[in-house]
Amino acid sequence: MSYLLPTLTKKKEVDTIIRDTIDKVLVLRFGRADDAVCLQLDDILAKTAREVSKFATVALVDVDSEDVQVYVKYFDITLIPSTIFFFNAHHMKMDSGTADHTKWVGAFHEKQNFIDVNEYQDINCYTRTYKFWGLQTDPLKLWSVTEPADE
């Protein structure tokens, strides 16, 4: 299923997609195309890429490529697959129940789990971004302007 998603093998490609993905969550899966767990995750990512396309972009990064080793070392990719989230070129940290808050390690068990994590990341990003503009932090009323508080 990795052929259905863009695969990045060069540092410049990774730099470009991180820099150019604006107002969307960027999901980068670091792994190998021939690994069984990566193939399971790639299947889930490929099936959900269209559903999350309004608020997320999904791409694969080949950890065996010599040119992306700088990212493999920087993000401490020791276990594969590892999924890293970005928003407006900022690395998003997440609490996945492990000691490592920088990435999601392993595959998602089902499609809905991946969608839920992306929706949470998306809402969390917008909440942080627009919090200082006086907008609601409630996800259902995210775009409505708050009334000034009476003192």
pTM of this prediction? 0.75
Say yes or no to pLDDT of 16 above 60.
yes
Could you give the CA distance from residue 45 to residue 27 in angstroms, rounded to a whole number?
9
CATH class of the 2-141 domain in this structure: alpha beta
More confident residue, 106 or 119: 106
* Cis peptide bond upstream of 81, omega within 30: yes
Question: 31 and 73 in contact (C-beta within 8 Å)?
Answer: no
Instruction: Place 121 in a pLDDT band, splitting at 50, 70 and 90.
Output: low
What pLDDT is recorded for position 151? Answer: 45
Q: What is the mean pLDDT of residues 70-80?
A: 92
DSSP state letter for 36: H
Which pLDDT score, from 0 to 100, does residue 116 have? 77
- What is the token pair recorded at 99? 């000691």
Which residue ranges make up each domain of the chain? 2-141
Calpha distance 113→110 (Å, rounded): 6
